Amino acid sequence: MAKLWGGRFSKNTNELVDAFNASIDFDKRLYHEDIRGSIAHAGMLAKCGIIPADDGEKIIAGLKDILADIEAGNFHFDVALEDIHMNVEARLTERIGSAGARLHTARSRNDQVALDMHMYMKREVAEIAELLLKFEEALLTVAKKHEKTLMPGYTHLQRAQPITFAHHMLAYFNMLQRDFRRLLGVWEGA
């Protein structure tokens, strides 16, 4: 199989080199972002007249089919294709022909990586923040039930003055609030 970067080489690379070079084991989790970004890009290319509208429609339909295949577990990620972008583009071109190769027009793989990582981080931060809020709600529920339940407080790993279990739970709540503020910073910076 010819490599994107392999124009000067007359022989195929060793499988160990392919495995070392490939990022597909990690970035296959970016499939949703990569395909969403590619659908938007293809739509823009067609709308601006950079590619024929018919090609844009074929690309978008093909990408939606690939997304469905991946989500159904019917997509083989090929290490020889190195990354999520090449895996999706190769399958797209295989399915819809030369129109699939136009997906790469006016966009580098570095552009795709930046977009995919940006969208992935936004999604992950949102999911983590949602779980964090649910955990904080659970801590508040437990704290409310134990406003009068006494327990020993601790300082320097030694027992200290008595506190309520609610106070203990709210200490964890406060720590999670700090984490949530940090997540908001990541969200705004991503």
Is 21 or 3 the better-scoring residue by pLDDT?
Answer: 21
- Model pLDDT, residue 126: 95
Mean predicted confidence (pLDDT) in 83-104 = 94
Query: Is the model's pLDDT at 1 over the cut of 60?
Result: no
- Model pLDDT, residue 87: 95
Query: Is the model's pLDDT at 180 over the cut of 80?
Result: yes
Domain ranges, ordered by start, for the chain: 15-107, 121-189
Query: Is the model's pLDDT at 15 over the cut of 80?
Result: no
pTM across the whole model: 0.76
- Answer yes or no: CATH 1.10.275.10 is held by domain 15-107: yes
Mean predicted confidence (pLDDT) in 48-68 = 98
pLDDT band at 25 (very low <50, low <70, confident <90, very high): confident
Is 17 or 23 the better-scoring residue by pLDDT?
Answer: 23
Query: Is the model's pLDDT at 14 over the cut of 70?
Result: no
Helical H segments across the chain, by residue range: 15-21, 24-27, 31-47, 53-71, 84-96, 109-145, 165-189
Mean predicted confidence (pLDDT) in 145-162 = 95
Query: CA 159 to CA 161: how far, in whole Å?
Result: 7
CB 88 within 8 A of CB 35: yes
- Model pLDDT, residue 63: 98
